[in-house]
Each structure stands twice: as structure tokens, then as C-alpha cells.
Amino acid sequence: MNSWRKRAIDLATVTAITVIVWLWAAGQTAQTRVITFDTVIDSGDPSRLLVAPSEPLHLSVEIKGSRQAVLGATQSLSGRTIRLLTGADGVPSTTGTHDVVLKDVLSISPSVAPLGVDITSVTPSVVRITIERAE
């Protein structure tokens, strides 16, 4: 009888460990999702530099990562307006016209980078900005 009880305990332990590992792995499974949000690029100091266009740009962004990271990023970013600053976030700060590759800029943005997802595509992929000195 003692042998039967030990086997039952061993089976329950193995089953519990299996369920825990399975739940952890399910949370780590790679997922892809498309989310939408707005972004605005500004200088952070409009008395010194002006950036055009100044209105928010609506983006459709495909993200990839663990299930948990994708869900977290979706909750953090969907419907928000992400502010990108010239001279930071990979956005140029020199006067003139620049083509900004949004995938690259968003990937290193402090609003996106800590979320643990990879940006696989952005629509539109490039935005042309003009930076001028404020008068």
C-alpha cells in the first residue's frame, strides 16, 4: 500500500511540474499582431526648432514577441499618441528635410523598446519631416 501511495505522489508531482512548464511555455509562444496608434515628431523646444508636419501621423504597426509581451505592448500602445523627439529616438535634429524610417525610430523609442516586442513592419514606413529654426 505504501508503494502505491508513493507512486500516486510521484505522479501528482510530475503532473504539476508538467502543467507549470506548459503554462510558462504557452506564455512564451511567439505571436504577431497589428496595432494602431498615432505618433507625433517634435523638437521638444518649439521656441528653437519647428518640425513639420506637426499633426499626428496614424500608424499601423506589426509587432512580434511572446504572447505576454504582445498583449502588454497592445495595451500600452493601442490608441495612444507616441511622441518622438528630434535629436533623440533616432530622429535627426539638424535643419532641413529628412526621411525618417519609422520602424527604426520606433524600435529604439523609450515608449516601445522596453516592451519586449520586435517591430516587423510599419505603415507608412517612412515619413518626410522638415526641421526649421524658429524665428
Given this model, what pLDDT does residue 96 score? 93
Residue 132: pLDDT above 80? Answer: yes
Looking at the domain assignment, is residue 80 inside a domain?
yes
pLDDT in tens, 9-51: 888 888 888 888 887 776 667 899 999 999 999 888 877 888 9
Looking at the domain assignment, is residue 67 inside a domain?
yes
* pTM beyond cutoff 0.85: no
User: How many CB atoms are closer than 10 A to CB 122?
Assistant: 21
Looking at the domain assignment, is residue 13 inside a domain?
no
Any idea what the CATH number is for the domain that residue 34 is in?
2.170.120.30
Residue 1: pLDDT above 60? Answer: no
Looking at the domain assignment, is residue 55 inside a domain?
yes
Rg (the chain; Cα; Å): 23
C-alpha cell at 89: 529616438
Domain boundaries, position 35: 30-133
Please tell me the total count of domains within the chain. 1
